[in-house]
Chain A
Amino acid sequence: MQATTELPAKSAAAGVPPSAARRVIVCSGTGCKANGSEQVYAAFTEAIAAAGLPVVTEFKHEGHEGAVRVTKSGCQGVCSQAPLVTLLPEKILYMRVTPDDVAEIVRETLGAGRVVERLLYRTPVEDKACRGPEQIPFLNRQTHVVLRDVGYLDPENLKEYISLGGYEAARKAFTAMTPEQLCAEISKSGLRGRGGGGFPTGRKWEAARVQPGPKKYVICNADEGDPGAFMNCSVMEGNPHSVIEGLMIAARAIGADEAYVYIRAEYPLAVKRMRQAVTDAENAGFLGDNVFGSGLRVHCELKEGAGAFVCGEETAMIASIEGQRGMPRPKPPFPAQSGLWGKPTIINNVETLAQVTRIIRDGADVFRRVGTATAPGTKTFSLTGHVANTGLIEVPFGTTLGEVVFNIGGGVTDDSGKVTKDCFKAVQIGGPSGGCLTKDHVNLPLDYDSLRGVGAMVGSGGLVVMNQRTCIVSIARFFMDFTQRESCGKCVLCREGTKQMLVLLDNILEGRADETTLPLLEKLAVAVQKGSLCGLGKTAPNPVLSTLRYFRAEYEAHIFAKKCPTGRCKALVKWVIDEEKCKGCTACVKVCPVNAISGEKKKPHRIDSAKCIKCGECVNTCKFAAVVQGA
């Protein structure tokens, strides 16, 4: 929290208005819904009424005299402990709440003001109970700007958004600022695009602003294609109006009267909330033919994607909106000059637009107070993989990798989910275009320039933590498989080159590689980078090159010793039982799905390698580490 005390925008809990209104906020992000938060919500409204307390689920300006307000919210952050429930004004956060817990919460906390200890967050290592967002290190070490109201606000309630200052920025943009001033303010903020490229937003807007009108377009890139990243999803689920408002401001800044939101169809809840937000903003007269009485019109339409990663690329997205196959075209001309239907168009990421809303509301100087000189402000990341606290986070640019993984993330976990010292292997950042970071980078500040320097990139913001049991070659293969499937097929080197790289990686993983494989792989990687038109092909070799840079020995073990150091590569592994260590407990016999293990009780067991399917269940089950890799 230290870094943020002077900011008006603080963590989710600190952003809550100081009203004494009693409120139960049930998280209804995708993760919590998957764990039954809808039933928890229903249980609360019933249990509170049953306890004789008045319940309201609607928003009222004047407060709700003594009643308990039960609402839903977007992601409250600690997704690994879903479903989550926040209680105000006490600022208590309960985890893994089931409908059966609700009666107790109503009786104890709402009724008697006591905390239900067993539902509190416990720190992964010290096992210390934390009362709420202000005590939980995972939350209080973050700096929330775009996530400030996510997790508190009722995302389906426009009135509440307005009560927190919503649409003030858009009103200001349409009634009190000129397009020049808007572009200048965004340029002054130093905001860089959050969609991966990091291009200065102010410059992009200015390029489109000076184009002749009258027809121009703005597009919100909500296609979030990086597999394993869900920040944009959470922002749209938790605070959809902040994105619409940013899009309106962008439209005003370049003089556009039509806006599109191109949204990934695999996010049904985000689609639903964005659609409702657009309808509500139209009904309130914010979007339409006379925005805030300025006489200007802005209409907004939602376009659902149809499952093609390449459509995240600007020119492909434009083709897709025009009803074509989403294939990129060469730039220039840039979309700012000639985009949708040949008209000047700007495309901005969801998070970029949510930041725009805050910059226009609070001013560029406030925005610049955190972050670095070349990368001001905060960035959201989705922290996943082998880490104690998985979830959505937001930190200033320049925060170190170690702070994110160990202090916020709570440390790296083994396969059973226990935090274990020294099991940190790597972090994959930037998805299929990005690279990996290792324990040598624990003190590396996360920003555009330092990451580029070590062969990785910020990308969209997916951070996947991997433990020592993860085979790095198969991770590189995972990304190559993804990009070769998603290649649009226009460029030969992208279409065929990525396929051949995949074949080479499979050769390595399945024991067919020799001394010619790595040199060929590296040569091909450079060719694919050089011979591809768009970012997909240009960056497709990155995961391979970056893992080769830091884990070459692991590749070589597969190629020359025909061994996978982690034992995860089925073609190369042969499991045997170490007779010295085996106690004959028969645990492995019970879990083997193909009955490949035999032996008498209390005597050493044997694995029949002809039957073994190398699933590794016995390895995970043995308490004595007696199942080992054979020669």
Chain B
Amino acid sequence: MELTQSRPPAAASGPDKFDSVCAILERYSYQPAKLIPILQAVQNEYRYLPEGVMTYVATALKVPPARVFGVATFYTYFALEPKGKHVLRLCDGTACHVKQSIPILEALRRHLGLDEKNKTTPDMLFTLDTVACLGACGLAPVLMVDDVVHSRMTPAAAVKLVDKIRTREQSAN
């Protein structure tokens, strides 16, 4: 669940391509039973599961690649595509839903030019996802930006938050 916003997206290429994967595999003693924590650690490193890395993990654990792909596609935690630099996770649990989380989702999608299928902006700055309950239902509706929870959101406030991040990013460049 670590959102590694400060680290630049690790490219799945170059000489150290599999170094960190090897370290992770080492840490879990190449046990196939630890496949899920291994993939979680890999995703924390790369911010998604590149195909080549999954095949590499399968070979290293001596399991068929289908087993690794099967697990990676079963759990929503795993992303098979790179995520944006900032991950917006809008809660659509029951409490947030009855407190009108959907208008916030629509406003953010409209503002970022995203839809149900396209979750990441072309400039790779934002990924917008929904999540079922972040454990702050008393303060619904809730939006998690990277690892910070923002409570009692409104469509306007959410859009403003996104603009603030964008401005910060632009002035940093």
* A interface with B by C-beta (< 8 Å): 30-31, 33-35, 79-80, 82, 224-230, 233-234, 265-271, 303-309, 320, 322-326, 382, 384-386, 390-392, 415, 428, 431, 462, 464, 466, 470, 475, 478-479, 482, 488, 615
Contact = CB atoms under 8 A, between A and B. Distances in A.
A80 B139 contact: yes
A236 to B, nearest CB: 10
A539 B71 CA distance: 25
B1 interface: yes
Nearest to B75: A306
Nearest to A384: B95
B156 to A, nearest CB: 9
B85 to A, nearest CB: 19
Interface string B127-160: 0000111111111101000011111000000000
A324 B70 CA distance: 8
Interface in B106-121: none
Contacts of A415: 100
B128 to A, nearest CB: 16
B135 A267 contact: yes
B33 interface: yes
A311 B96 CA distance: 23
Contact of A79 (B31, B37, B39, B138): B138
A316 to B, nearest CB: 10
Given A82-B139, A323-B34, A266 B75 contact: no
A414 B140 CA distance: 15
A304 B93 contact: no
The residue among B78, B99, B139, B140 with the most chain A CB atoms within 10 A of its own CB is: B139
A306 B100 CA distance: 27
The residue among B31, B40, B99, B131 with the most chain A CB atoms within 10 A of its own CB is: B99
Contacts of B131: 266
Given A34-B136, A34-B139, 12 more contacts: A33-B149, A79-B139, A80-B139, A233-B135, A265-B40, A305-B77, A307-B77, A320-B36, A323-B36, A385-B94, A392-B138, A415-B100
A431 B98 CA distance: 13
Q: How large is the interface on B (under 10, 10 to 19, 20 to 34, 35 or more residues)?
A: 35 or more
B93 A308 contact: no
Contacts of B132: 225, 227-228, 266, 309, 482
B133 A475 contact: no
A31 to B, nearest CB: 4
B76 interface: yes
B74 A227 contact: no
Contacts of A466: 98
A589 to B, nearest CB: 17
Interface string B61-105: 000000000110011111000000000000011111111100100
A34 B33 contact: no
B13 to A, nearest CB: 26
A271 B32 CA distance: 23
B76 A266 contact: no
A409 to B, nearest CB: 11
A425 to B, nearest CB: 10
5 contacts: A34-B148, A306-B78, A325-B71, A382-B137, A479-B94
Contacts of B134: 30, 266-267
Contacts of B31: 323
A495 to B, nearest CB: 13
A415 B100 CA distance: 9
Contacts of B40: 265, 304, 306
Contacts of B70: 325
B76 A306 contact: yes
Nearest to B133: A227
B42 interface: no
Given A271-B1, A303-B37, A322-B33, A30 B75 contact: no
A308 B76 contact: yes
B75 A478 contact: no
Contact of B136 (A31, A224, A226, A325): A31
Given A228-B94, A306-B77, A478-B97, A268 B147 contact: yes
A229 B150 contact: no
A308 B70 CA distance: 13
A465 to B, nearest CB: 8
Nearest to A326: B74
A35 B78 contact: no
Given A34-B150, A35-B151, A266-B133, A478 B94 contact: yes
B35 interface: yes
Contacts of B75: 306-308, 326
A227 B140 CA distance: 12
Contacts of B148: 34
B94 A325 contact: no
Contacts of A488: 74
A303 B99 CA distance: 32
B133 to A, nearest CB: 5
Nearest to B96: A228
Given A30-B136, A306-B36, A384-B137, A82 B94 contact: no
B76 A475 contact: no
A191 B132 CA distance: 29
B95 A464 contact: yes
Contact of A266 (B1, B78, B139): B1
The residue among B34, B132, B137 with the most chain A CB atoms within 10 A of its own CB is: B137
B137 A228 contact: yes
A475 B98 contact: yes
B142 A34 contact: yes
Contacts of A385: 94-95, 98-99, 140
A34 B76 contact: no
A265 B76 CA distance: 11
Interface in B13-49: 31-37, 39-40
A307 B76 contact: yes
The residue among A309, A382, A470 with the most chain B CB atoms within 10 A of its own CB is: A382
Given A31-B138, A230-B136, A431 B94 contact: yes
Contacts of A265: 1, 40, 77
Contacts of B151: 31, 34-35, 82
B150 to A, nearest CB: 7
Contacts of A227: 92-94, 132-133
A225 B135 CA distance: 11
Contacts of B74: 308, 325-326, 488
B117 to A, nearest CB: 15
B1 A464 contact: no
A384 B76 CA distance: 25
A230 B136 CA distance: 7
Contacts of B36: 303, 306, 320, 323
Given A30-B149, A266-B1, A323-B35, A386 B98 contact: yes
B140 to A, nearest CB: 6
Nearest to A230: B135
A392 B77 CA distance: 27
B67 to A, nearest CB: 8
Nearest to B61: A323
The residue among B31, B138, B139 with the most chain A CB atoms within 10 A of its own CB is: B138
Nearest to B78: A306
